[in-house]
Structure 1
């Protein structure tokens, strides 16, 4: 699966980089990682004695100077800021690597997990978001998960919408946390929680009225009509145009001149929030009809690299959560590349075994050497469960020509 993901990402013009698993404490706790900053694993400073630890017990920054990365975006921003002079003006990167968060382990949440990221740095146009969307959907298709779609929104739309309802800037972070629960709580539950939070009463009333407004059941494909119908009147034209441009580019990649000519796998969701504090524009989540949770997501983070570089650089990324898709992909056997177990007697010389193995490997096979055991059936069953499709028994003097390969059935 990782090989397929890498191959499809590279086919779309992205280049793989590797970044360290540890970052400076100050970068990981710069106020841009949202709730994930609270989940970061921090590394104790070297050389601290017991008195120093007791003296700094109330100040994590005095105790630690490094931490394990909780995502791949902060390391990428530092990488780009450090190496900008050697990189192209528009840099397309791949990162496929583990990250760590102090989660309470449960289904879909782990303390260590793999993210599969693609990012475009240096392009502020809608083409960048469209490239990411097309590459991500193509990768999902290549994994055998056809039918995926992308929910899309813009943090600037969210800010404008909350402002138009009358929420103050101070209460906006808490309001967004509540809105993010809309799928679970429903409109009535969201309104009730906002009132419990003590949000501005008039703003809550305006928001409640918007949620309960009469709507038609007509289908509108992704485009300007769908976007404007999902928002209050007066949505900013430039933001709507950017979102429409993403759809037009994705439509063109699928052979349609406009969004209306094809079924574009994009859905505008005005209440999509995503929790990372560094998003400045477009945000998206990857959905699949087989599950009710997202398989990945991302967004535009134009302000992050400027923290390291001293000037803003446009940037946008999309990440697939490997653990979230691995159970959805059924194992497939490639008939052109058989996997063979060579079951050998104890007295077969090592040179003969490695010569046989090398001959099969040169032919394109995957080969494992296994010494014969009393329970041959159990050995072969284990090999089959590991993905091997054939076996051959090897005695002293066996040659590649005399080797008899049998299917594991």
Structure 2
């Protein structure tokens, strides 16, 4: 968990404002949910490994004897927990407020989440997620809207060369079936496949063997993995997708993926479509049902976001299935890649004054500049004026003026900082 100095906070808010504005332009509406959810909901088996990282809230009223008695039963110790993502709260929100929402609901959620991660570079116990979701639309139109809007955000942030890698959980399952993996071993096999980028083909095959996966299936999978074209993330198109998959994959799944690519290409206009088909993209969350995707930039080695369709989640809270699909931008990773930019205000002014300038005069000077649209800070002159100016520039101020006692409001001379 981190503190943010003023310049860092201003940078983060500027990036968040761009993300909000672009998503709203695509018809999404922002909602807000509580930071805590019921313990049973957060540990319902739909959050994958993140459930193990949840911060739980101790039940009120438990004394020392009660805590000892409940030590072996987490549900007896805690009845609430801090949210570890925004998807589970959204499912609960929709189930609770469905009667007041449109048939197809497009949601924005931008808020902090908490996970009990081990402290290390790039992993935080409190971090901001930026999610958009569409609930109530089972057609590929929903995926297309999410992908186009997210690519638009990337463009607005000035991050060039971004692409989205796409796969489908149904294609993954069919591929594992084609190799001969049994139904009950496929979840574990997917966990291993998800490590392909980190441990390579040799590491994946070794781990599958250690897991005791069906030997013939492991052998067939190894043969497929070592084909020259298999490990390439291919350009989008029906022929390329079919070539990247084993024979026998359902035509409906391939058509679904191709249709998404065609629609995104139409929305983006001329130029190469920024989509790639990755037959080994897994996404770790257990609630994904169909399409899954990840956002990547060629300049970095890690994912900048992702998501997918999770048609089965809301039904757990509502009692009937509702189609849902979402996309989450990795804000903490993206914010460090965005250039500082300029302050949104017309100017940001530091008024440097001597000790003897009356407060009433300072207030009048400041009010006049604020009324003109400037951001204004008052600073008493110090011996180290250069250091004061450098700090002000680092905080985002663009100009300064010195104020003497008795100076008229319109006599201030603004000079640029830096």
TM-score of the alignment, normalized to the shorter chain, above 0.5 = yes
Hey, what does 2:257 align to over in structure 1?
243
> 1:295 offset after TM fit, Å?
0.6
CA distance in 2, matches of 1:347, 1:170: 80
> 1:334 offset after TM fit, Å?
5.1
- Write out per-residue CA displacement over residues 58-98 of structure 1, whole angstroms, 9 at most, x where no aligned residue: 11011000000000001111111111111111111111110
- Write out per-residue CA displacement over residues 124-167 of structure 1, whole angstroms, 9 at most, x where no aligned residue: 11111111111111111111102110011111111111122111
- Determine if the alignment matches structure 1 residue 366 to structure 2 residue 375: yes
Tell me: CA distance 1:360–1:222, structure 2 relative to 1, closer, same or farther (3 Å): same
- Determine if the alignment matches structure 1 residue 386 to structure 2 residue 400: no
Hey, what does 2:197 align to over in structure 1?
183
Query: What is the TM-score when the length of structure 1 is the normalising length?
Result: 0.95
Check the 8 A contact 2:233/2:277 in 1, yes or no: no
Hey, what does 1:122 align to over in structure 2?
136
Q: Equivalent of 1:342, from 339, 351, 363? A: 351
Q: Equivalent of 1:135, from 149, 152, 159? A: 149
Check the 8 A contact 1:221/1:263 in 2, yes or no: no
Counterparts of residues 185-224 of structure 1 (less than 5 Å): 185-215=199-229, 221-224=235-238
Counterparts of residues 220-235 of structure 1 (less than 5 Å): 221-235=235-249
> 1:45 offset after TM fit, Å?
0.3
Hey, what does 2:274 align to over in structure 1?
265
Query: What is the TM-score when the length of structure 2 is the normalising length?
Result: 0.93
Unmatched 5+ stretches in structure 2: 1-14
Q: CA RMSD in A?
A: 1.7
CA distance in 2, matches of 1:403, 1:308: 62
Tell me: CA distance 1:382–1:218, structure 2 relative to 1, closer, same or farther (3 Å): closer
Hey, what does 1:23 align to over in structure 2?
37
- Determine if the alignment matches structure 1 residue 156 to structure 2 residue 170: yes
- Determine if the alignment matches structure 1 residue 59 to structure 2 residue 73: yes
CA distance in 1, matches of 2:256, 2:276: 15
CA distance in 1, matches of 2:205, 2:413: 71
Hey, what does 1:70 align to over in structure 2?
84
CA distance in 1, matches of 2:339, 2:320: 46
| Greater mean deviation of Cα atoms: 165-174 or 191-200 | 165-174
> 1:214 offset after TM fit, Å?
4.3
CA distance in 1, matches of 2:247, 2:77: 51
CA distance in 2, matches of 1:139, 1:216: 31
Hey, what does 1:324 align to over in structure 2?
333
> 1:336 offset after TM fit, Å?
6.9
- Give every structure 1 segment of 4 or more consecutive aligned residues whose post-TM-superposition deviation is greater than 4 Å: 216-220
Check the 8 A contact 2:307/2:328 in 1, yes or no: yes
- Determine if the alignment matches structure 1 residue 376 to structure 2 residue 385: yes
- Write out per-residue CA displacement over residues 11-30 of structure 1, whole angstroms, 9 at most, x where no aligned residue: 11111111100000001000
> 1:216 offset after TM fit, Å?
9.1
CA distance in 2, matches of 1:391, 1:223: 56
Hey, what does 1:289 align to over in structure 2?
298
> 1:195 offset after TM fit, Å?
0.6
* Secondary structure of residue in 1 paired with 2:235: coil
CA distance in 2, matches of 1:79, 1:94: 12
- Determine if the alignment matches structure 1 residue 39 to structure 2 residue 53: yes
* Secondary structure of residue in 2 paired with 1:401: helix
Q: Equivalent of 2:113, from 99, 103, 122? A: 99
- Determine if the alignment matches structure 1 residue 167 to structure 2 residue 176: no
CA distance in 2, matches of 1:401, 1:145: 42
CA distance in 2, matches of 1:194, 1:238: 29
- Write out per-residue CA displacement over residues 314-369 of structure 1, whole angstroms, 9 at most, x where no aligned residue: 11111111110111111112597221111122233333323322222232222212
CA distance in 2, matches of 1:351, 1:86: 51
CA distance in 2, matches of 1:150, 1:217: 16
CA distance in 1, matches of 2:232, 2:22: 36
Unmatched 5+ stretches in structure 1: 257-261
CA distance in 2, matches of 1:104, 1:265: 34
- Determine if the alignment matches structure 1 residue 108 to structure 2 residue 117: no
Hey, what does 1:307 align to over in structure 2?
316
